A and B are shown apart, each in its own frame.
Chain A
């Protein structure tokens, strides 16, 4: 490290203050959120002594429980499918050449760039038209619910998984696959015994990321959900409309914890490459 470029005097002080400001804006709301989840007063912002009642309310509320179980069911299916499709598209883009590859590559990034609301409206229109068409053509009566949410989440998660797995694939020597094939492995066995173990940390990271994104999504889910399929974030959003109580804080803290655990796990999975 060069000492010559280190700031000195007032510049150093200003930078330090700036740094603390950033941390303050990041974490003060979270600290308040956590703090008031333990407050024994219906009004958020007024400290009424320590209590665990709000957490108890969450664990006793069948609505909240139902929303949580919906969220988890959806997240599990979404993760499973998007990991497979995302990994396959990553493999296709990194290992094969095919007509329209560049277009596919660009399109794959679209769901990451596109605003959530746009995506939500698109999907809403899509399901509306699609269901109507099914009804007209085959007489199927479909309604929005579990599968419309799952399909919507998969639609954007493929991109995220694909990006993470691709990063891992790029770092892997193609020599290894050639060596496997040279040592009598079929294409499938080369994937199974060489490529897959090499990209596994990437796949695990992608899976945890997909799960987090699915559990956290509120905008898209709200547009494509149907009766009986309220997810936890959508449920919380609904509660706010009725008036904010620390019950929302307690649910938020639980979701925050779950997300943090998943993100930390995904970081660990990604890091695993260094120890391999």
Chain B
């Protein structure tokens, strides 16, 4: 099967600044693909290159096998949902949605029919004669989606489209976007800096940092087995402990404590160990607490989150964050209580520095 979008050794430089550095990437047809990273990591530049709003400095970019590196954006069968929606303020919702078809020279009657269909799909019936300024952020978002999708693009590009919405609306739109993507069946390329958003919606995620692609994998894989320290730290919360690989089953932490952690790194490699807060558990302290997968310590602070409690546990040489779900019967620990933090050995992942 031919890839929806393929980037081969793509680089983009703005003067001396390298925004995207030698990126290879394949986006399959029909997948919800997210590009995730902090601001300035090159994710938006990559998206804009696919859209044709920027041209790559080096490399090859193809959409369904057709090389489009420097093809003008109006000649590409992709459409974009812009960060601030970029709706045309002087046009009604109907004319906004029909804009692409009008530019393509589609028959007026057909434009109206297809636009109305799309407006219905995004549940904005009755709003077609409004101006964008007379609509809420969430509604404008839907107009932007309809305006892009009505052209039946082969790939839909979304540049942080949910950034301006409040939390509740954002969560609703996440579900809706995912559903919409399944309904229309084309690939969505979704740029975001919000890791939760990416985990919720994506079939696959590409994590970018400083113009480089760090990891491309499913949400589970990214979360459970991050490729390196940056990915582990960026995706969700985690405890990162520095150490050295002893053998393929053991890591010596920087203070000399050995813990059990399987890895393929050669002995002596400086690595970090990642333990997710929710994968560790707290129990009453016991005599033989210190072992390869548990450490004795003291509760320093407790943060109540409603659905969970986050314990900050202090050890002689470091501290760990542990998250306990707020289930019935769960034991509570006051600050100052001596406890043992333990974890299953598969909760530990070894990541390259």
Q: Chain A: which residue is nearest B53 at the CB level?
A: A178
Say if the beta carbon of B137 comes within 8 Å of chain A.
Answer: no
B51 touches A194 (CB 8 A): no
Determine, out of A152-160, A182-190, A261-269, the stretch whose residues face the partner at the interface.
A182-190
- A-chain residues with CB within 8 Å of residue B103 when the two chains form the complex: 180, 183-186, 189, 193
- A-chain residues with CB within 8 Å of residue B72 when the two chains form the complex: 181
Say if the beta carbon of B45 comes within 8 Å of chain A.
Answer: no
B151 touches A184 (CB 8 A): yes
Q: Can you report 16 residue pairs joining A to B where beta carbons are below 8 Å apart?
A: A175-B82, A176-B89, A178-B86, A179-B86, A179-B88, A181-B72, A181-B74, A182-B53, A183-B100, A183-B103, A183-B151, A184-B74, A184-B151, A185-B74, A193-B102, A276-B90
- A-chain residues with CB within 8 Å of residue B104 when the two chains form the complex: 184
Against A, the Cβ 8 Å flags (1 = close, 0 = not) of B75-102 are 0000110111011111000000001101
Q: Chain B: which residue is nearest A176 at the CB level?
A: B86
Say if the beta carbon of A37 comes within 8 Å of chain B.
Answer: no
A182 touches B90 (CB 8 A): no
Q: Which of A178, A189, A198 contacts B82 (CB 8 A)?
A: A178
A194 to B148, CA, bound (A): 16
Q: Which of B51, B52, B87, B90 contacts A198 (CB 8 A)?
A: B90
Q: Chain A: which residue is nearest B90 at the CB level?
A: A197
- A-chain residues with CB within 8 Å of residue B151 when the two chains form the complex: 183-184
Q: Which of B52, B84, B89, B99 contacts A180 (CB 8 A)?
A: B99
Q: A182-B73, A184-B74, A276-B90 are in contact. List 5 more A-B contacts (CB 8 A).
A: A182-B74, A182-B80, A184-B151, A189-B103, A276-B89
Say if the beta carbon of A173 comes within 8 Å of chain B.
Answer: yes
- B-chain residues with CB within 8 Å of residue A180 when the two chains form the complex: 88, 99, 103
A179 touches B74 (CB 8 A): no
Shortest Cβ-Cβ A-B pairs, 8 listed? A183-B100, A175-B86, A179-B86, A184-B103, A185-B103, A184-B74, A197-B90, A182-B80
B89 touches A179 (CB 8 A): no
